[in-house]
Amino acid sequence: MEKYIDEACAKFREILLSQVERVEKMKSGASATDFSKLDKIVIGLAGGDGIGPIITDEAERLLRFLLADELATGKVEIKVIEGLTIENRMAKNQAVPDDVLAEIKKCDVLLKGPTTTPKGGTMESANVTLRRELDLFANVRPVCVPEEGIDWTFFRENTEGEYVLGSKGIEIPDTLACDFKVTTNPGTERIARAAFEFARANGKKKVAIVTKANIMKKTDGKFSAICHEIAKEYPEIEAEEWYIDIMTANLVNTAIRSSFEVFLLPNLYGDIITDEAAQIQGGVGTAGSANTGSKYAMFEAIHGTAPRMIEQGIGDYANPSSLFKATELMLRHIGFTAYADKLAKAMSICTETEKKVICTGDRDGATCKEFADYVMNTIKSI
């Protein structure tokens, strides 16, 4: 037992040192990329696993259609990234193999299909690795249900909390297991500022800070305190304090849910509640996700690889809406606002009002390709 405890203490010391180093790096943070100043914007495309390549192929077709002029003039380049597959990652025993990461870093932004995360073991999720390696600290997830007055934007901290050391826990065999949760000052300040800046720029009146600070006193306590500190810089915006348990209830409380606007949360709560929110919008297949940092940004569906669909041979019926929403977020991020608006409008027609071609995720619905054609034809008619 003593041996295990000594080993764990030594490991904990290393963990603390690495996290303090991360804090120092954050403090000297890079300034944000100004896409309007780039001669060329390189968009990386990675298919991922399961239904990933199927929905990503359609997103690529959509992108090539929308950006035809920019691709022709060389203002935009689409770079297909190979090797972000579970087979290659397992073979190299790396969540994101070095050569794949190097290719990704040559791009300004990445549009990514879902990737398989092995359960247990020590291999980290490719998402978590990419978010850390590219320092994508803000996970922004919009959810809208116009007929119910719901217009939510979630700002989920994306690089720390339970995730940062998720594969570095400690175990004493047959006795106990221990994971770590980390909240840092600069890590919290930057996500809080991103949420309040968004609220200010978009005329939002309230930001809901959501934690479990009554229980996770150190980490969530710090998150909450720092968010309230940053809130003082935005006196026109009300900072509300909520606990995550009651907030999950609030989202299904039709009497009050439309009053929420912007949510600001640590990593794990943000992960969980955004699936709930997406379900309210129509399912996880309907929500896009932006992972943004100062230099890089990655855009993806919020759902997984749907292995059951592949096993049942119905992968071609996957709904690409989530990745199309991510494409819209990406176009907006790199400054192609008019294309983003067009795509958003077409998606609203195709999934909310007209609904002529519907993906059900099964053979009774449209294929991924048919739905993509429908969206592109709708864009042409706008």
Return residues touching ligand IPM (CB under 6 A): 117, 125, 127-128, 271, 302
Task: Pick the closer one to ligand IPM by CB: 48 or 97.
Answer: 48
Q: Minimum Å distance from CB 298 to ligand IPM?
A: 10
Task: Pick the closer one to ligand IPM by CB: 128 or 208.
Answer: 128
- Determine the Cα–Cα distance for residues 194 and 305; give it in Å rounded to an integer: 29
Task: Pick the closer one to Mg ion by CB: 156 or 342.
Answer: 156
Residue nearest to ligand IPM (CB): 125
Q: Minimum Å distance from CB 48 to ligand IPM?
A: 10
Contacts of 191 (CB under 8 A, 6+ apart): 137, 138, 155, 156, 157, 158, 264
Task: Pick the closer one to Mg ion by CB: 239 or 297.
Answer: 297
Provide the 3-class DSSP secondary structure of residue 57. helix
Q: Minimum Å distance from CB 59 to Mg ion?
A: 19
Task: Pick the closer one to ligand IPM by CB: 127 or 319.
Answer: 127
Choose the one of ligand IPM, Mg ion, none that binds residue 128, judging by a C-beta under 5 to 8 angstroms depending on kind: ligand IPM
Task: Pick the closer one to ligand IPM by CB: 54 or 301.
Answer: 301
- Determine the Cα–Cα distance for residues 326 and 289; give it in Å rounded to an integer: 6
- In the complex, the residues that contact Mg ion under the rule CB under 5 A are 271
Q: Minimum Å distance from CB 127 to ligand IPM?
A: 4
Choose the one of Mg ion, ligand IPM, none that binds residue 117, judging by a C-beta under 5 to 8 angstroms depending on kind: ligand IPM
Q: Minimum Å distance from CB 6 to ligand IPM?
A: 32
- Determine the Cα–Cα distance for residues 41 and 4; give it in Å rounded to an integer: 51
| Residue 70 near residue 64, CB atoms below 8 Å | no
Q: 139-170: string of b/e by CB count within 10 Å (b at 16+)?
A: bbbbbbbeeeebbbbbbbbbbbbbbbbbeeeb
Q: Minimum Å distance from CB 127 to Mg ion?
A: 9
| Residue 322 near residue 286, CB atoms below 8 Å | yes
Alpha helices in 95-218 (DSSP H): 98-105, 126-133, 185-201
